[in-house]
A and B are shown apart, each in its own frame.
Chain A
Amino acid sequence: MNPSMRALIGFGIMAVLLAGVGHYQSWNVMLAIFNLCLISAVMALGVNIQWGYAGLFNVGIMGFAALGGVAAMLTSRAPVSTAWAAGGSNLLIAGAVTLGVIAAAWQLSKWRGRAWVKTVAMLIVVLGGYVLIRQFYDPAVLAIEADNPAKSGFLGGLGLPIIFSWAVGGVFAAIIAWLIGKVALGLRSDYLAIATLGISEILIAVMKNEDWLTRGVKNVTGLQRPVPYELNLQESPRFIEWVEWFYAGSLAGLEGATRSQMLRELTVEGSSLFVKLCYGGLFLAVLLIVLILCVLALASPWGRMVRAIRDNEVSAAAMGKNVTRRHLQIFVLGSAVVGIAGAMLTTLDGQFTPGTYQPLRYTFLIWVMVIVGGSGNNLGSVLGAFIIWFVWIEAEPAGNWLMGIATASMEEGDWLRRHLLDSAQHMRFLIMGVIMLVVMRFSPGGILPERTARS
């Protein structure tokens, strides 16, 4: 079958499935799933840049998504002036000292002298620096975290509209990716995988415990939105008029109390749909921009070069391509895309909760999306994201339903029945694993395999 046909059929089936959810469950559910599909698709594109283009196995997706989340929170949250007053100056000094220590260590590392003198000097600089930093850092943190801990207790952010944070999320992720890439990209694939897995855990640990910056496990809730609030819509006469106009057909035959009751229900539902459509529009715009850039990049000479590097590093290096540099570049780009998606996700949730980042959900699930969709194929990753997010969400009701049928003939108090019903939720992991293994085994290129000039 020709590839565009396959893509068309794939997306067609997805559309039918979503429409089915809309029809049989509700359009609100469908849009909620759809919005997350969009975000997942952006994330999967980021992973695809790294894995599909360059063969970099990054298992630290969770960390970059979380960095995006931090960006969303820090960009949109208003600064807390009392916290700044309490500990701001000390914190700034600590920051300056940190930079100084790093600069000193950097200079020292370039100094040519006796090895042992250098080592001792380095130890003195690093340890002395650490002690010095904590002299300023510890009181600053104490003061900031003591500032109304139940409601605030952190520095706050910049107070800018949250939509800017999507770009900021990309930048944050890119900076950290650059640092990680410098350290880990010289190593072979397996090590990179394990290193990124570890580093993402460290990132989360920092976010969970540095309360002065992120409010830690106390979470930051009620982030501002880039779209209207349902409740405001429901009270806005204009929106109600709009609903009346739109649903004129179904309101026509009704009168008095029945009509106003119906109108109220429609307004509630309409507002919820409207907000989701707004989000969907924004996410779709981001997805399309990223997708188009990805497609263009992959088709450009640059794209051919990175694929050449992926397929044979040695000969690419022999041709004069700088493999390490390209790898670093791709690692940074891919991570930035994941960061953008992470910021979008936090925006949609309306809250930043560092405790919620878990590798199974934020790293491995995204990986399944890319593998199933087709690594190296941008459209494939998008399709994979849609399919897998859909399955992830619908696996639970499906599992419950299956278990319900399987246990229908058993007696009410039967322990096995109760056990099976209680365990239905764990079907999710099983289903994901089986899908991933089956696709990898029987269709290694995924649903939409990579297109190369040869085939």
Chain B
Amino acid sequence: MKKLLLASTILAGMTTAAFADGHEVKMGVILGFTGPIESLTPDMASAAELAMKETAGKVLDGKTIVAVRADSTCTDAAAATAAAEKLITSDGVVGIMGADCSGVTTAIANNVGVPNGVVMVSPSATSPALTTIEDKGFFFRTAPSDARQGQVLADILKDKGITKVAVTFTNNDYGKGLADSFATAFKAAGGEIAISAAHEDGKADYSAEVGALSAAGAEHLAVFGYVDQGGKGIIQTSLDTGAFDKFILADGMIGESLIKAIGADLNGTIGTLPGSDSAGAAKFKEVATAGGLKKNDGPFMPESYDAAALMILAMQAAGSTDRAAIQGKIMDVANAPGEKILPGELAKALEILKSGGQVDYEGASNVTLTDVGEAAGSYKELEVKDGKFETIKIR
């Protein structure tokens, strides 16, 4: 039995290798298609697939990258690991775009991705803990760690002279981690957190949370949540009950859909979003609309597009679909030197790489990776003016 088992393993190994020689190259897209962030993930996956569509037939002398979707469930580490296992050992994907939630991402990276030497680029796992996992250089993320964002938010408030805020965060590692790092930075700058209370996503009723938040006596409410989840509910309820009308938003809360849902009451709201200028983001919207996506500005959509694009470009730069070779090139294509590449210009980038040139992929979220392989974390300071998010300055 054991002989048979191992013989078949080799066979399986052979077939994956054979697959890679065809015209199709598989890339895993593992996101929580069911579970708590199931409403965000289809758009994230479409964004990633957009990058593949854009480069169809143009990678490595006529290859096409095809996505193999798998469900991370966002919560169930066992199911996510199993799904990733299938992607890597059965489908033979060359790399993985994902996962999404920090918990399952850690599980996949530790249990499957790193041991098998497969590159993972997460678009949305922002937990500071991921900075220090033992990834042997195989884990990257196009979303910056929340440790930085908390500092940036505190700086902005200090500059504005706001010294007392109420904080509400979505009750997961993203929200809690960000709230912690913000609290530390804000207190160091002499600020006071009147109350810090969690909210659960997907609850629809937030009057109790808003009631408690407003009772603490702060005038500003910092919301660290998701734009079409609990965060929106909190803002809506705050405005409806007159509890708060001045908000401070973190990246998960930035989206046109928020303004569409809430309207003019949001004017004056302050926010932060990873990125350094909006050229890439604006370009991404065009590309997304042209590509027929349902939305063109969901949370983490730009990061998803960038995650897929990075791997495709790294593949071209490496000149092969070998997993280890791709890993070696991710940093090269993401960072300077080289020609700046925005969304929609992937074909151009492939041409440059083919002719031996270098690219510096900027993408939709202004990608620059630090030594540990995560987005460097320059943030845009935003303010809502006349029903639009406007960039005030870069931090």
Contact = CB atoms under 8 A, between A and B. Distances in A.
A26 B90 contact: yes
Interface string A156-185: 000000000000000000000000000000
A219 B102 contact: yes
B322 to A, nearest CB: 9
Contacts, number: 171
A345 B78 contact: yes
B103 A356 contact: yes
Interface stretch (B172-180, B220-228, B230-238, B363-371): B172-180
B89 A353 contact: no
B103 A355 contact: yes
A136 interface: no
- How extensive is the interface on chain B, given as a class? 35 or more
Interface stretch (A112-120, A145-153, A440-448): A145-153
A26 B180 contact: no
Interface stretch (A78-86, A123-131, A269-277, A322-330): A269-277
Given A275-B115, A355-B171, A27 B9 contact: yes
A393 interface: yes
Contacts of A26: 9, 12, 85-86, 89-90
Contacts of A345: 78
Interface stretch (A188-196, A332-340, A420-428): A420-428
Interface string B1-14: 00001111110110
Nearest to B78: A36
B71 A149 contact: no
B77 A428 contact: no
Given A271-B115, A355-B171, A426-B34, A219 B86 contact: no
B181 interface: yes
B127 to A, nearest CB: 8
B107 interface: yes
B129 A221 contact: yes
Interface in B44-90: 69-71, 73, 75-79, 81-83, 85-86, 88-90
B75 A351 contact: no
B173 A348 contact: no
A275 B128 CA distance: 28
Q: Looking at chain B's contact residues, is the secondary structure mostly helix, strand, loop, or mixed?
A: helix
B128 A28 contact: no
A226 B88 CA distance: 24
B246 to A, nearest CB: 26
B247 interface: no
B85 A32 contact: yes
A355 B116 contact: no
Q: Looking at chain A's contact residues, is the secondary structure mostly helix, strand, loop, or mixed?
A: helix
A247 B6 contact: yes
A149 B184 contact: yes
Contacts of A23: 8, 12
Contacts of A353: 75, 77, 103, 107
A260 to B, nearest CB: 13
Contacts of A270: 6, 9
Interface in A88-143: none
27 contacts: A23-B12, A25-B12, A25-B86, A26-B90, A27-B8, A27-B12, A28-B85, A153-B180, A217-B176, A219-B103, A221-B107, A221-B110, A222-B133, A230-B115, A230-B116, A269-B89, A270-B9, A272-B89, A273-B6, A345-B78, A348-B78, A349-B111, A350-B107, A351-B106, A355-B75, A396-B70, A425-B71
Interface of B: 5-10, 12-13, 33-35, 42, 69-71, 73, 75-79, 81-83, 85-86, 88-90, 102-104, 106-107, 110-112, 114-117, 127-129, 132-134, 136, 147, 171-173, 175-177, 180-181, 184, 198, 292
Interface of A: 22-29, 32-33, 36, 149-151, 153, 208-209, 211, 216-219, 221-222, 229-231, 234, 246-247, 250, 265-266, 268-273, 275, 345, 348-351, 353, 355-358, 361, 392-393, 396-397, 400, 413, 422, 425-426, 428
Given A25-B89, A221-B110, A349-B107, 9 more contacts: A150-B129, A150-B184, A211-B176, A221-B103, A268-B117, A351-B110, A353-B77, A396-B70, A425-B34
Lowest 3 A-B CB distances belong to which pairs? A230-B115, A25-B90, A26-B89
